[in-house]
Structure 1
């Protein structure tokens, strides 16, 4: 029984039941797009149009993917193995065919700080006088090339060069080689290597094209050039691609998103059908009217008119203030006037974290209790990344980035001078830092104290290697954290350290 259809309005039902051929769902803000997407997946499965592993569904965030997985499971009792973020799905495909692009299937996906470290190391080799603060610019240029699906040789063909681009291209060549030596990729490589794989092995592309009878994409307005190309490749065989998005909500052009992808959908996919979701369930009519008035001034947009049956609510106020302090004072006074609400019922949104400083100053002045909801993501916290680096080095002794990160954390008297010797030895012998460390232990290049410390570190890594496959993961992490001296280091940090210990335990 298709009871889930009863929960949908007529436009949503149309989007769910029209499953043959390309479909663009123009979903305005608050129009129930997640319910529509998940109901569409359920409709396909429950009516026998495809098995769960013949559906590819991609979105941009883990949170959105997890919510979709949960809702589809509720509707069908089935997991969708190919539902996830662009990066997660691309990584899954790449691990199955890693050898085609010169990697092993257990490759490591590195984060921004590791990317920056590799780039700094390369720049130090080719241009020691280069300003270190420009390394981030180089990294961003390389990522932009990857988002446009450009490998180093292809950049040479099309790029008009300024000096910074010349340096970036030199670094790009060596950066890709260094990552391959480390059996590592950055997030930009995941889709880039997928495209390279599809171009080199047409039989692999054909396999996935035939496999995915239905392709669904969330937040299509945020796709960049390489994501767009990847989707076109995979949807080519069956042409059952359904893209959900809203050109009015395209805000990521600064990181490569191309709103043109949604604007030209009907040109790219012949006989495409467009379904507009215009009934807003989230906002009051005054808020909706204000938002519509602003967005209607956009020159290039797909026409839609949001409406709601919700109450009018209060009118939207536009307040002009002289500076940040005047703004903070005004907000504080407005909060105190809202005495029928608890402080915990009130939220203040800011564009960037630095803007909270002046607000905090005035909240204290006006005795308004507050809580800042922001901060570093869990997996980006230093202590979490350190422990993960230990695990990476145990499972892959060739992971130079992990070695460099934790060889002196906690402190083992292995400073910059010793690291330079390790690096030089590794370069000269074309070996990993780990193997270079072994050579230093058996040489006269470092002091006896450093030999003992370095040898103890290397021996611990090898000892943990022996037990990693037999111990439960949580127990193994506890062993590494304690035996490495990491927990003791955090304990010595007192109050701050206690919070970081809890993160390690988590």
Structure 2
């Protein structure tokens, strides 16, 4: 069947409820808001809406834009569409679908030449921090530092590390300069970009802060010298391009998912994507947004919960268009008790429109709530109930059905220790990404040097890794030479050439060219013969790889074998292979980078974007001042602009730059196959659990200062409302069972430097009648559980006996009422083990798992020979498919402990393994 044949839409519509059908078939020329609460089939409706546009209205897929919150969501949408449209011949890969950042970057790649944005890659968070550090170290003049030093306390406070001194100097560096906090400065710059404010525009504002204006300008200049765009730049410069030129006039419909998490620049991008058109005197705007006000939890990324109202106002006030609003109310995920509890939590918020989600599940159990006496006791409470659930007769749950959701990542420390102690297998959702590993970062930096001759940051990191004799002084000299040769030309002809150039060789500030000049002694340096020889060898590695890459990518398609050979050449000649030695895990990770590169395909959406030259426009911002000498040359260069955008770029390294940029733009998704083969409890922050669901959810730490978080306690009402929405998002992840817990501490107790938790969360106030004190209060509730899980209970189920066992073990393991000898952290004695009757039943055959890779090294017992590490099968490009250090210990490493008698009192036992926690948390390339 071809795409030209009529494909019936009715079979798709028949699967929808009334509200869903109304949303899918709504008028396509009127702005549409779909308000979809948790579990109401949001994704199903969005996919059906796209299918409706393709089948009913015959809109070509390349004329539809779909923005999603994550790459995973985009991938899921494509998979669902492929199933719905199977046999239709409609190429779903031509949809322009992805996150706002990825779509914006593709538009920049295609149409950015007129703004001088060719050959740019996306900076990682580490890159951005390094650029700012260079600005603070080298780019601020003594005169400007003096002005900064003279600023009053209030002007310095948002940017300094620690408190500002009474003399206004703040914490000082070298005794004179304020010690500026790079994270705070980057956060302020990001906020300006999120509100679509460029550096030059901010400098003109009346209320502009001198310090921020100065650093923002210098930071942006440094980025451009390195041909880098940070995450916010992807949105900012895309908006600049599409608001000045009608490059997206081909777009016929725009759909935006997770609209409640959009910020101001994303809202403005949506307006540009969905430009209002006049068709035969009728005003039309084809845009569909989907979201839920109650799930807006990204204010720290400048998300604006008010964007729903802004959208209504924009179309009504400016275009006299009324938005159609459809609300989805039938919930297919959670039980009625969970929904009722969650709704009552949200009703505490003032000026909120009430909504009543209706559960489609027949049975229901009340959420369980407990107040414990300490943090450790709460951890034992969670571990015990997990063990209790997976040990129930007929196994209605396994470990992968359970999640523990926390407000802040540091709360996982005591949970992980308890899980390791009691052999509860677990994984961290969205933990340390594959692309953040040291060996992977090093290999990616070398690829960046090959792809971008002016990536100064990558060159500075690679030139002495592995060591080549360049110490800090030599590297500082190279950095200074980069800065000296990076001054832009003031000649108008050269500026236009650079602006229109698709070849980095025309840029006078190339880092690689500077290194060549140093090695040939064309640029003066203090390097001796030995260092110059090392520099020449380094340059030869980059040049040799570039030659091989050109050969591998000289056709319309890449040559996998040649690409692999180029990668291997770089890996070996750079010295990385020798540096990593015999570490098999690191070698496999490098192999995975190579595999991802070979499997990578440039997004087909780029190919579906029409050439810019098809649109007639004028290039703004170029003005010739003075005499007319050379004016003909200027006009000729301007005329080249249309030709320059025709077809694809001739740059052989565009493929490599696309790969590297998408690695940065997308978070690594956890592999699901390992989770299936080795079921584990998921531990996640609430933000990391967004969009996910589990049959059983635990939410510990429901105390003032934890949830709501301490920073919100003295904040505004909006801050408390954001925390309340976090709690709502967490509780609505649960399908069948919801466990809530809190604990109280006395002032002066061991609480790791934070304020003690002295009372329960305000969000639980008045909700006791909706909560249960124990999971299964009677035999009837146990039967309900089996009904909900679709499990047949055993005929001889003795509820009374099961309940007595539950209470007895609860007192032993959670309350520890017999004695307190096993309060010693990390130690379990033979006597302790003899008590674990219920616990043993669940963990008898369980494997002793190493802690997850995010916080602890892989645990390998010396008493047995471990099976070789095996990578899982790759699912798709640019995703983390190599098992991380959290991989479980092999089976043959376990029996030596589980086979021991649990009744002997003479056996010496090693202390239970408790993972060491990293002091710093680093998250790379996330957006």
Shared topology, TM-score over 0.5?
A: yes
The size of the alignment, in residue pairs, is 496
TM-aligned CA deviation for residue 420 of structure 1: 0.9
Instruction: Verify: 1:55 aligned to 2:64, yes or no.
Output: yes
Shift in alpha-carbon separation, 1:344–1:427, aligned structure 2, 3 A: closer
Instruction: Verify: 1:95 aligned to 2:109, yes or no.
Output: yes
The 2-side partners of 1:65 and 1:458 are apart by: 40
1:266 aligns with 312
Shift in alpha-carbon separation, 1:504–1:319, aligned structure 2, 3 A: same
Instruction: Verify: 1:240 aligned to 2:283, yes or no.
Output: no
Instruction: Verify: 1:198 aligned to 2:242, yes or no.
Output: yes
Shift in alpha-carbon separation, 1:230–1:444, aligned structure 2, 3 A: closer
Tell me which of 212, 216, 234 is aligned to 1:168.
212
Shift in alpha-carbon separation, 1:266–1:396, aligned structure 2, 3 A: closer
The 1-side partners of 2:400 and 2:285 are apart by: 49
The 2-side partners of 1:365 and 1:59 are apart by: 40
2:548 aligns with 467
The 2-side partners of 1:22 and 1:422 are apart by: 54
Shift in alpha-carbon separation, 1:38–1:369, aligned structure 2, 3 A: closer
The 2-side partners of 1:402 and 1:326 are apart by: 48
Instruction: Verify: 1:390 aligned to 2:471, yes or no.
Output: no
Compute the TM-score of the two structures, normalised by the length of structure 2: 0.51
Shift in alpha-carbon separation, 1:52–1:363, aligned structure 2, 3 A: closer
Which whole-Å deviations, capped at 9, do the CAs of 1:50-88 have from their partners, x for residues lacking one?
Answer: 111111111221111111122222223421431111111
Q: Where in structure 2 are there 5+ consecutive unaligned residues?
A: 1-7, 146-172, 278-283, 316-320, 487-508, 553-559, 596-927
Tell me which of 252, 255, 259 is aligned to 1:213.
252
Shift in alpha-carbon separation, 1:348–1:499, aligned structure 2, 3 A: farther
Instruction: Verify: 1:86 aligned to 2:100, yes or no.
Output: yes
CA contact (8 A) 1:192 1:226 kept: yes
Tell me which of 40, 45, 67 is aligned to 2:54.
45
The alignment partner of 2:255 has SS state of strand
Within 5 Å, which residues of 2 pair with 1:245-394?
Answer: 245-269=291-315, 270-338=321-389, 339-340=391-392, 341=395, 342-394=398-450
Instruction: Verify: 1:28 aligned to 2:37, yes or no.
Output: yes
CA contact (8 A) 2:440 2:590 kept: no
CA contact (8 A) 1:144 1:256 kept: yes
2:24 aligns with 16
Instruction: Verify: 1:445 aligned to 2:454, yes or no.
Output: no
Instruction: Verify: 1:226 aligned to 2:265, yes or no.
Output: yes
The 2-side partners of 1:504 and 1:295 are apart by: 45
1:122 aligns with 135
The 2-side partners of 1:23 and 1:185 are apart by: 33
1:479 aligns with 569
TM-aligned CA deviation for residue 495 of structure 1: 6.3
The alignment partner of 2:359 has SS state of coil
Per mean C-alpha deviation after superposition, the further-off stretch among 216-225 and 48-57 is 48-57
CA contact (8 A) 2:343 2:355 kept: no
The 1-side partners of 2:179 and 2:589 are apart by: 29
CA contact (8 A) 1:87 1:187 kept: yes
TM-aligned CA deviation for residue 333 of structure 1: 2.7
CA contact (8 A) 1:422 1:433 kept: no
* Greater RCO (Cα-Cα under 8 Å, separation 6 or more): 2
The 1-side partners of 2:401 and 2:47 are apart by: 31
2:493 aligns with none
Tell me which of 5, 15, 40 is aligned to 1:7.
15
Shift in alpha-carbon separation, 1:28–1:345, aligned structure 2, 3 A: closer
Q: Which has the larger radius of gyration?
A: 2
Question: Greater share of helix residues, 1 or 2?
Answer: 1
The alignment partner of 2:551 has SS state of coil
Which whole-Å deviations, capped at 9, do the CAs of 1:393-445 have from their partners, x for residues lacking one?
Answer: 11221111221121112221222111111122222333343233234333561
Shift in alpha-carbon separation, 1:448–1:321, aligned structure 2, 3 A: farther
Shift in alpha-carbon separation, 1:13–1:192, aligned structure 2, 3 A: same
Which whole-Å deviations, capped at 9, do the CAs of 1:72-124 have from their partners, x for residues lacking one?
Answer: 222234214311111111112112221222221x2111111101111100110
The 1-side partners of 2:526 and 2:99 are apart by: 48
The 2-side partners of 1:243 and 1:372 are apart by: 31
2:184 aligns with 137
TM-aligned CA deviation for residue 446 of structure 1: 1.6
Which whole-Å deviations, capped at 9, do the CAs of 1:446-494 have from their partners, x for residues lacking one?
Answer: 23322221110011111111110223333322221122111221125x4
Q: Where in structure 1 are there 5+ consecutive unaligned residues?
A: none
2:125 aligns with 112
The 2-side partners of 1:345 and 1:136 are apart by: 37
Shift in alpha-carbon separation, 1:381–1:302, aligned structure 2, 3 A: farther
TM-aligned CA deviation for residue 283 of structure 1: 0.6
